[in-house]
C-alpha cells in the first residue's frame, strides 16, 4: 500500500494541511481503483475520511444517493436468480478462493484496515484470520447446512415431504467501523453461499476496506453485481432497509432498534448484532498466570472497540488484590503506537467522536468517586485520538460507564464474595452479548455459564475462542441483538424455508383426495382409525 508520503512506518509525520494537493494520506492510485466500484451517480457529494493516527485527511470518495441504493438493489436482483441456480460446488469454490486470496494479499488489507480504523496490526490480523476461518467453514460445511431434508409426511409412505432452503434474494448488510473486513464478510459469506446477492453499506470511515473486499471477491470469481457497495451515512443505511429482502445489521443498539422497527413494518427478516457491556469473572480458583495476560487481551484488543470486549471485571474477593496488582502492571506495560507493523499492542480510537465518548465516560466516573488504577488520560503524545488503557475501581452504580457501553479501552472492577453473587452481577445489565469465566474447574465454569444471560460464554479466554469457532452461533441475548451470525444459524436466517409435500398414492387411488371421495362420515372414521394406529406405533 503506497501512501502520499514517504514514511518509516509511523504516520505521525504525514499531516500537511497547507498543501491541498498533498493532504490525503492515501495516493489517488490506491483510492481510485477502489472507489470506482461504488454504486453512485455522483449526485450526493463527497465524503472525506480522516486518518485516526494523525487527524489528517485520509481519502475522499463519492457518496451514494437514495436513488443509487435502489439501483444497486435492482442490479443485484437482476443477477441473483442466476447465482442461485449456479451449482453449489461453484459457489463454495468462490468462497474457498476468497479465503485464500485474503490470506495471500493480507498486507494490502492490513494497511488499509489500520489506516481507516486506527487499530494495531495484531487486531487487524484477527480480521484476516477470521475471514479465512469463516470462508473455509462455509466452503466445507455450507452444503450440509443447505441440504434438503426429508421429514415425516402426513400419511407414512403416501406423503413425501422435503424441506428446502431457498435464498431470500438480495441481502442488505449495514456494517460499523470497528471490524471493517470481518463485519463486511461475516454476513456476506453465508449469504452468497446460500445463493443470495449482497448490497453492503459500510461505515463512512471504513468504506475503502469494503471496496477492497468487492475487488477480491471479483478476483475470486464472483460474477458481477452479486456484491455491491453503496456509501454514505445513516440515511443511506435506512434507505437500504427499504429495498432489500433481509437486513443484516451490525452496530449500536439504538440504531438496531430503528432498523428492526422498519424491517418489522416491511416484514423482512432482520439479523441484529448490537452492543454489549460484557462481564468477565475471575473465580477464586483461577490460575492467575494465564488469567492476567488473557484478561488484558479480553479488555484491550482493538483498543476496546470490539463488541465482545470486556468492560466489567468481576473478581472473587479471595484473589482480587493479587490479580489486580499483576493486571494493572500488565496494562501499564501495553505499548500504544501507530506503526503499520506488529510493534504496538494497542492502537488509536477511531475518531474524535469516539475519543469524546471514552473521555466523557471516564471523567464522569472519576467525578462520581471512582479511582483510576491505571490510565484515565488522553494520550495525545502518541496521536490525536489515543487513549490510555484504563482500569477503574470503586465505580458507582450511577456512573455512565457502569451501565452504558463505553466501546473503548476502559474496564471497571467489582469484587464479589461468591459465585452466586458473580452471576447476579454479570446478569445485572440490559445487554447479553459475551461473557467470560476464568476458573481451574471447567465443569464448574460450565455450570455457571448456564446461569449467565449471554449469547456467548467463553471459559478461560476472553472472546477469541467463541468468535473464531465459526460453527458456533454468535449473537446477543436481551438488548444485544436478534438472530445469530456464524454456523447453521446464519444460513437459516439468510434463507427462506420451503416445504414441498407430494402425494404419492394418487395414481393408485389411495391419496388424501381419494379418502374424501368416500363421502359422509367415512373419511373421518378412516382417519380416526389411522391416527389411532399412528399414535400406538409412535410415528411422528
Ligand atoms: P452505529 O449504529 O452508529 O452505526 C452502524 C452502521 O449503521 C453504520 O454503517 C451507520 O452508518 C449505519 N446507520 C446509522 N444510522 C442508521 C439508520 N437509521 N438506519 C440504518 N443504518 C444506520 O454503530 P457504531 O457506533 O458505528 O458501531 C459501534 C457499535 O456496533 C457498538 O455498539 C458495538 O457494540 C456494535 N457492534 C456489534 C457487533 C456484534 O456483532 N454484536 C459487532 C461490532 C460492533
Mean pLDDT along residues 396-420: 98
Query: Which of 143-157, 262-276, 348-362 has the least mean pLDDT?
Result: 143-157
* Closest residue by Cα to residue 411 from 428, 393, 398: 393
Query: Does the beta carbon of 401 lie inside 6 Å of ligand 1?
Result: no
Å from CA of 28 to ligand 1 middle: 28
For residues 361 and 366, give the distance between their C-alpha atoms in angstroms, rounded to a whole number: 9
H/E element holding 511?
none
Ligand 1, closest atom to CA 251? 30
- How high is the pLDDT of residue 162? 97
Å from CA of 402 to ligand 1 middle: 21
Residue 197: strand pairing partners: 170
- Answer with the residue of higher pLDDT: 249 or 18: 249
Q: Please report which confidence band the pLDDT of residue 539 belongs to, taking 50, 70 and 90 as the band edges.
A: confident
Mean pLDDT along residues 179-200: 97
Query: Which of 251, 308, 473 should be mutated for ligand 1, with most atoms under 8 A from CB?
Result: 251
Q: Helix 207-219 to helix 182-193 angle, to the nearest 10 degrees?
A: 40
Query: Which of 255, 271, 434 should be mutated for ligand 1, with most atoms under 8 A from CB?
Result: 255
Q: Which of 239, 273, 311, 489 is catalytic?
A: 273
At residue 13, does pLDDT exceed 70?
no
**Would you call 481 exposed, middle or buried from its count of C-beta atoms within 10 A (0-12, 13-18, 19+)?**
buried
Question: What mean pLDDT, rounded, does the chain reach?
Answer: 94
- Answer with the residue of higher pLDDT: 24 or 454: 454
Mean pLDDT along residues 102-127: 98
Ligand 1, closest atom to CA 354? 25
At residue 308, does pLDDT exceed 80?
yes
- How high is the pLDDT of residue 158? 86
Give percent above pLDDT 90 in the chain. 89
Mean pLDDT along residues 393-414: 98
Å from CA of 250 to ligand 1 middle: 5
For residues 313 and 391, give the distance between their C-alpha atoms in angstroms, rounded to a whole number: 9
Query: Does the beta carbon of 127 lie inside 6 Å of ligand 1?
Result: no
For residues 198 and 196, give the distance between their C-alpha atoms in angstroms, rounded to a whole number: 6
273 tagged catalytic: yes
Q: Please report which confidence band the pLDDT of residue 512 belongs to, taking 50, 70 and 90 as the band edges.
A: confident
Query: Does the beta carbon of 286 lie inside 6 Å of ligand 1?
Result: no
For residues 258 and 478, give the distance between their C-alpha atoms in angstroms, rounded to a whole number: 16
What is the pTM for the complete model shown?
Answer: 0.94
Give percent above pLDDT 70 in the chain. 96
Å from CA of 176 to ligand 1 middle: 5
At residue 44, does pLDDT exceed 80?
yes
Query: Does the beta carbon of 481 lie inside 6 Å of ligand 1?
Result: yes
3-class DSSP state for residue 94?
Answer: helix
Condensed to tens digits (0 to 9), the pLDDT of residues 85-95 reads 999 999 999 99
- How high is the pLDDT of residue 506? 78
Mean pLDDT along residues 424-453: 98
Å from CA of 253 to ligand 1 middle: 8
- In this structure, which residue's CA is closest to atom 21 in ligand 1? 237
Mean pLDDT along residues 279-290: 98
3-class DSSP state for residue 452?
Answer: coil
- How high is the pLDDT of residue 511? 77
3-class DSSP state for residue 170?
Answer: strand
Ligand 1, closest atom to CA 481? 41
- How high is the pLDDT of residue 2? 40
Query: Does the beta carbon of 294 lie inside 6 Å of ligand 1?
Result: no
- How high is the pLDDT of residue 513? 79
At residue 532, does pLDDT exceed 60?
yes
At residue 519, does pLDDT exceed 90?
no
At residue 369, does pLDDT exceed 70?
yes
- How high is the pLDDT of residue 514? 80
Ligand 1, closest atom to CA 177? 26
Q: Please report which confidence band the pLDDT of residue 504 belongs to, taking 50, 70 and 90 as the band edges.
A: confident
Å from CA of 497 to ligand 1 middle: 28
- How high is the pLDDT of residue 97? 98
Query: Which of 45-54, 71-80, 525-534 has the least mean pLDDT?
Result: 525-534
Query: Does the beta carbon of 463 lie inside 6 Å of ligand 1?
Result: no
For residues 331 and 322, give the distance between their C-alpha atoms in angstroms, rounded to a whole number: 15
Phi/psi for 275 (5° steps) reads: -80, 180
Amino acid at each position: 500500500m503506497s501512501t502520499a508520503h514517504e514514511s518509516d512506518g509511523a504516520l505521525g509525520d504525514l499531516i500537511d494541511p497547507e498543501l491541498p494537493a498533498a493532504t490525503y494520506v492515501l495516493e489517488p492510485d490506491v483510492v481510485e481503483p477502489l472507489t470506482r466500484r461504488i454504486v453512485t451517480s455522483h449526485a450526493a457529494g463527497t465524503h472525506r475520511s480522516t486518518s485516526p493516527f494523525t487527524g489528517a485527511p485520509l481519502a475522499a470518495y463519492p457518496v451514494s444517493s437514495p436513488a443509487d441504493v435502489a439501483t444497486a438493489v435492482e442490479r443485484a436482483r437482476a443477477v441473483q436468480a442466476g447465482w442461485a441456480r449456479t451449482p453449489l460446488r461453484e459457489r463454495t469454490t468462490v468462497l474457498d478462493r476468497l479465503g485464500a486470496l485474503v490470506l495471500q494479499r493480507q498486507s494490502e488489507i492490513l494497511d488499509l484496515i489500520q489506516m481507516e480504523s486506527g487499530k494495531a496490526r495484531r487486531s487487524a490480523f484477527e480480521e484476516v484470520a477470521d475471514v479465512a476461518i469463516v470462508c473455509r467453514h462455509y466452503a466445507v460445511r455450507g452444503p450440509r447446512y443447505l441440504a434438503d431434508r426429508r421429514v415425516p409426511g402426513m400419511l407414512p409412505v403416501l406423503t413425501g415431504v422435503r424441506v428446502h432452503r431457498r435464498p431470500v434474494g438480495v441481502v442488505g448488510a449495514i456494517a460499523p467501523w470497528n471490524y471493517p473486513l470481518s463485519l463486511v464478510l461475516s454476513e456476506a459469506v453465508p449469504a452468497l453461499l446460500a445463493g443470495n446477492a449482497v448490497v453492503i453499506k459500510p461505515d463512512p470511515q471504513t468504506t475503502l476496506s469494503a471496496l477492497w473486499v468487492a475487488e477480491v471477491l471479483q478476483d475470486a470469481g464472483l460474477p458481477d453485481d452479486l456484491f455491491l457497495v453503496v456509501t454514505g451515512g445513516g440515511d443511506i443505511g435506512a434507505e437500504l432497509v427499504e429495498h432489500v429482502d433481509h437486513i443484516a445489521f451490525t452496530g449500536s443498539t439504538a440504531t438496531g432498534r430503528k432498523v428492526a422497527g422498519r424491517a418489522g413494518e416491511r416484514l423482512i427478516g432482520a439479523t441484529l448484532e448490537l452492543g454489549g457491556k460484557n462481564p468477565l469473572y475471575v473465580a477464586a480458583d483461577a490460575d492467575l498466570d494465564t488469567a492476567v495476560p488473557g484478561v488484558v487481551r479480553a479488555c484491550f484488543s482493538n483498543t476496546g472497540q470490539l463488541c465482545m470486549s470486556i468492560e466489567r471485571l468481576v473478581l472473587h474477593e479471595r484473589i482480587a488484590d493479587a490479580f489486580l496488582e499483576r493486571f494493572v502492571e500488565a496494562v501499564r506495560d501495553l505499548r500504544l503506537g501507530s506503526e503499520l507493523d506488529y510493534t504496538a499492542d494497542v492502537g488509536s480510537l477511531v475518531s474524535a467522536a469516539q475519543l469524546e465518548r471514552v473521555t466523557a465516560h471516564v471523567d464522569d466516573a472519576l467525578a462520581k468517586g471512582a479511582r483510576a488504577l491505571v490510565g484515565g488520560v488522553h494520550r495525545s503524545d502518541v496521536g490525536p485520538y489515543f487513549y490510555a488503557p484504563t482500569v477503574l475501581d470503586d465505580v458507582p452504580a450511577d456512573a455512565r460507564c457502569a451501565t452504558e457501553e463505553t466501546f473503548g479501552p476502559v474496564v471497571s472492577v467489582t469484587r464479589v464474595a461468591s459465585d452466586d453473587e458473580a452471576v447476579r452481577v454479570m446478569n445485572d445489565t440490559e445487554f447479553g452479548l459475551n461473557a467470560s469465566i476464568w476458573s481451574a474447574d471447567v465443569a464448574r465454569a460450565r455450570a455457571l455459564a448456564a446461569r449467565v444471560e449471554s449469547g456467548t460464554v467463553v471459559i478461560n479466554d476472553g472472546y477469541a475462542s467463541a468468535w473464531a469457532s465459526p460453527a458456533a452461533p454468535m449473537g446477543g441475548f436481551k438488548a444485544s441483538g436478534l438472530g445469530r451470525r456464524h454456523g447453521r444459524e446464519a444460513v437459516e436466517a439468510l434463507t427462506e424455508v420451503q416445504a414441498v409435500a407430494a402425494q404419492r398414492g394418487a395414481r393408485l387411488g389411495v391419496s388424501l383426495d381419494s379418502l374424501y371421495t368416500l363421502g359422509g362420515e367415512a373419511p373421518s372414521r378412516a382417519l380416526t382409525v389411522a391416527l389411532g394406529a399412528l399414535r400406538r406405533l409412535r410415528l411422528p
